[in-house]
Amino acid sequence: MSPQAFDSVKLSAQYHLLNRQSSNSNLSSQDQLPLSFSKPSVPVPEQPASPMGLITRFIKYGGWRRNWLLCVVAVGFLLFGFRHRRSFQEFGHRSNLNQEIFSSTNCQPPSGHPAKRFALMIDAGSTGSRIHVYRFSYCLPPNSISSTILPTLDHELFFKTQPGLSSFAGRPSEAAKSLQPLLQAALEGVPADERSCTPISVKATAGLRLLGDKDSKEILMQIERWLRESWPFKLPEKDGVTIMDGADEGVYSWVTINYLLKTIGPSADKTMKNATAAVMDLGGASTQIVFEPQQTKLEPGGHVYKLTFGGRTHALYQHSHLGYGLMEARRAVHQLVAYAELWRKKTSWQSLSTQGPMGNPCLLPGSTRTVTLVNEDRQGPDSKQVVNFFGTGEGFEACQRVVGLMMGKDAICKVSPCAFGGIYQPHFEKAFTQGPIYALSYIYDRLYPLGIKTKFTLNNLLKLVKVICKGTKSNWKLHGLSTEAIEELEGRPESCLDLTFIYSLLSLGYEIDESREILISKKITSIELGWSLGAAIDLLEKTPASDCRKLRS
């Protein structure tokens, strides 16, 4: 493709990102995160729509006749320039980090504080629910003159079940009862004399919102009522059962990782030789980034979180990009490819299902995928069209052009610099010059089976993605992919799309240097990474030990 054509499409993407109403608005100044979080009460610039909003608004407001020339350019750009997850079964997992501590006569808790406490955190995800039973110790260091201390995690019990709460639309009582195996596990993990002062919280992720406001509220209210009436644990009076905000999820994940790395809290290096870790978490519906800038002053806004933890204050940059999770990215890319075909043939939305197989540069060569596309501007059965895609084998470059257009890198940036979609983010390599980078969730899930076990650079990832997007089984073998990796790829026709999006998110979106090391992991010191531990520590902080003494008396 010529540079002129490429620039034309960049301008068209920028034009259609102007004046977007935000479906992922910044948090208001009244929203407060716990663990001594604070945010300035200043206006926050509007955020752009999600990728799907971008696409549908392009059609709705652009005008078919007015924009046909623009569509032709976009079509040329798109078309010519361009597993195995273990089934969600019930099982228990225990991690014993410090079993000797309570038998030790050297444990001196702060005055008036118990030597140990428990906390229960239920993660109600879209495909299933899980409970984390944490046991913390409160032992002052020898000869300590301090009277305060942060909890030390020494034991975790982990148990999960299916299906998720979103499977119980219109059946709130059944939704609550679906959590019963988790509560039974909690009874086994928490001694009887500790249960009345052991705090519990249920936090649902964004998947529950898909049920709509009425159904989701009924489920949450029934769970709260059931927990208070039927179980001995201590449920907070406020926000004990809630749908978690994306910002909470990101910051809690940051707390979890840095707590386990001992880069925050009393045991952290006060000279900052050990910089805190940056966290990038890719979910199904959204992706979060959280880091502590070291060389750059943050612009004021809802992206700033001031966290006081263990006597130190951390000014964090955080943002949750709603609509840019892996599943939403897939949907947006397929929708873009389909719309491009409509523009090229000058046919209508209703004709999509009757057009026959459609080429898709982001599917593996020779693979097929049947996708139900949804036009959010239409109502009734006409809003959905079933499309059969096949992989064209055009390779990474062709797929990345579609992904890049979907990400909106050229959106108007009201507060500079921006990451993507017009969202302010300090330049990562200038602001975060040292410290580890952890990539979680779907990034781990997609890369680990392909032989990336602990760390990678974007240079190395790019080489792998190019081989996968262009290759076949014989070509993958030629490039040294293992039998396990090939089996993983053959079971995922969208592997090229997934890996291209992950690479583009980290390089084009967050602008991480191609040679910088990125870590992937499921656990640190046998504890699962994610937001649950950070949320549990916060839950303990909001449930003072004095409450336990009152309850016991």
Residues serving a catalytic function are 249
Cα torsion angle, 427, 433, 435, 439, sign = positive
Report how far apart, in Å, the C-alpha atoms of 398 and of each of 75, 360, 421 are: 12, 10, 21
Helix, coil or strand: residue 294: coil
In Å, the largest CA–CA distance within the chain is 81
- The 8-class DSSP code of residue 167 comes to G
Residue 268 labeled ligand binder:
no
Among 169, 243, 254, 261, CA closest to 207: 243
Residue 400 labeled ligand binder:
no
> Helices in 179-325 by DSSP H: which ranges?
180-189, 213-230, 246-261
Residue 285 labeled ligand binder:
yes
Asked if residues 411 and 421 have their Cβ atoms less than 8 Å apart, the reply is yes
Among 495, 452, 444, 445, CA closest to 473: 495
Helix, coil or strand: residue 373: strand
β-strands 129-137, 152-161 pairing:
antiparallel
Report the C-alpha gap between 109 and 333 in whole angstroms.
55
Neighbours of 424 (CB within 10 A): 22
Q: Is 65 left (phi over 0), alpha (psi -120 to 50) or beta?
A: alpha
Residue 2 labeled ligand binder:
no
Q: Report the Cα 338 to chain-centroid distance in Å.
A: 27
Among 180, 199, 76, 55, CA closest to 134: 199
Q: Which residues pair with 309 in a beta bridge?
A: 312
β-strands 200-204, 455-456 pairing:
unpaired
Identity at 409, one-letter amino acid code: K
Residue 308 labeled ligand binder:
no
Residue 191 sits at φ, ψ, to 5 deg, of: -60, 150
| Residue 280, token pair as written in the block | 């990038």
Binding residues for ATP: 284-288
